[in-house]
């Protein structure tokens, strides 16, 4: 179990990417950057933990977005 979290390299720049939603719509990092950045979450909507924190997650992401940080959630195992 990881007990010591490494210090974040705040100067690191993420490479641009393109992801498609189930309808084939493209989402790129550059198109979704907020004024102060973007948070990308890899979550699963049927995970009991995610289900338990859904309300708090919605509140936290709304706060981040109001502060200029856009939010994307990736559910790679979701089938629509």
Tens of pLDDT, residue by residue over 48-62, are: 998 999 999 999 999
Give percent above pLDDT 90 in the chain. 46
pLDDT at 1 over 60: no
Q: How far is C-alpha 66 from the geometric centre of its chain's CA atoms?
A: 15
3-state SS, residue 36:
coil
Q: Are 67 and 36 in contact (CB under 8 A)?
A: yes
pTM of full prediction above 0.85: no
Query: Where residue 34 falls among pLDDT bands split at 50, 70, 90?
Result: very high
Exposed / middle / buried, residue 19 (Cβ in 10 Å: 0-12, 13-18, 19+): middle
């Amino acid at each position: 179990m990881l007990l010591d979290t490494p210090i974040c390299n705040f100067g690191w720049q993420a490479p641009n990417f393109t992801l498609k939603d189930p309808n084939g719509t493209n989402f790129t990092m550059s198109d979704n950057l907020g004024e102060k950045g973007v948070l990308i979450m890899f979550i699963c909507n049927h995970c009991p933990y995610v289900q338990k924190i859904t309300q708090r997650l919605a509140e936290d992401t709304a706060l981040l977005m109001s502060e200029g940080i856009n939010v994307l959630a990736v559910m790679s195992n979701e089938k629509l």
